[in-house]
Amino acid sequence: SSPDLPETVTCLTAPDGSLLYLVGTAHFSDSSKKDVATTIRAVQPDVVVVELCQYRVSMLKMDESTLLKEAKDINLEKVQHAIKQNGLMSGLMQILLLKVSAHITEQLGMAPGGEFREAFKEAGRVPFCKFHLGDRPIPVTFKRAIAALSLWQKARLAWGLCFLSDPISKEDVEKCKQKDLLEQTMSEMIGEFPALHQTIVAERDIYLTHTLRQATRCVEAPSNAQKVPAVVVGVVGMGHVPGIERNWEKQLNINEIMSVAPPSRFGWVLRILIKGVMVGMLGYACYRVGGSLGRALQSLHAVQSLLETLRPTPAGPPPLSSEL
């Protein structure tokens, strides 16, 4: 009834008496992995919820060496996949954030998400324990984050991420588990990009609270099938703990934070410009090589489709798509 738990654990109670043990972690921390393992072994939960979505679930089953290699390697295939999944602007921003993760990985020699893999492993050792993904889908987060920034803010953020080179030590990572230091860092970020904090931190606090409350419902005891209060362990970044505590007893509407605004005219113009540059380069190549090759290339279906998209359309707004 009174387990001896790490100081990074916060206990919250649901109206039906179910208990949530919320483990605040630093994402590149060996001690966070130990905190997660200690908590799950001590409370023997019915459900374990982690700060991951279906788009990042692959990291749970990959070994440390493979993840380390993947985190350091940002290639053209990853760029294409990010753009295809999230749209042009959101995809490029995701690549920049992957670059930040790769920088930290290289500095520390440690792959991200070790605490989630530890939670997955420990949950498998607890009889009847379920494992839930609790985070908002990452494409929604990226698209809402990009839409919330002005063009100037996007440029400033991209510039800062591109030229991130500050050294990071394991001691710096462990400091992220200190709430006072974390709150100071969050305050600095709010002042710099308040819209970014709202979409990446505050909205995900709401979503994580919702999924954690869904998990903390009475369960059937295996012995007699009677309903009993559940015991749940949540594994989230320390930056989300204060927001989850604030939202725990509030009425939440996650539909508001799941919608994605239609693409802006700027995004549409940017895509047309990129296609135009590609066609211009193709035309110049045809001019240099000769007319016969040009006619052969123009007969290809892919080239015809590309040219078709650049034909003027009747007056009116540009067509909307689901991508940014």
pLDDT in tens, the chain (324 residues): 678 899 999 999 999 999 999 999 987 788 999 999 999 999 999 999 999 999 888 888 877 677 666 655 666 666 666 667 666 666 666 666 666 666 565 666 667 788 999 999 999 999 999 999 999 998 898 888 888 877 777 777 667 656 555 665 666 666 666 554 445 555 555 556 778 788 888 999 999 999 999 999 988 777 777 888 999 999 999 989 999 999 999 999 999 999 876 655 655 666 667 666 666 765 665 555 554 544 554 554 554 554 555 555 555 444 444 443
DSSP symbols for 18-78: -EEEEEEE-TT-HHHHHHHHHHHHHH--SEEEES--GGGGGGGTS-HHHHHHHHH---HHH
pLDDT for residue 141: 87
- What is the C-alpha separation between 316 and 265, in angstroms, rounded? 12
Q: How much is the pLDDT for 246?
A: 96
> In the structure, how many helices (H) and strands (E) does the chain have?
15, 7
Tokens standing for residue 223: 């012995």
pLDDT given at position 322: 41
Cα angle for residues 104, 109, 111 (degrees, 5° grid): 70
CA distance 248 to 213: 8
Query: Three-state DSSP class for 132?
Result: strand
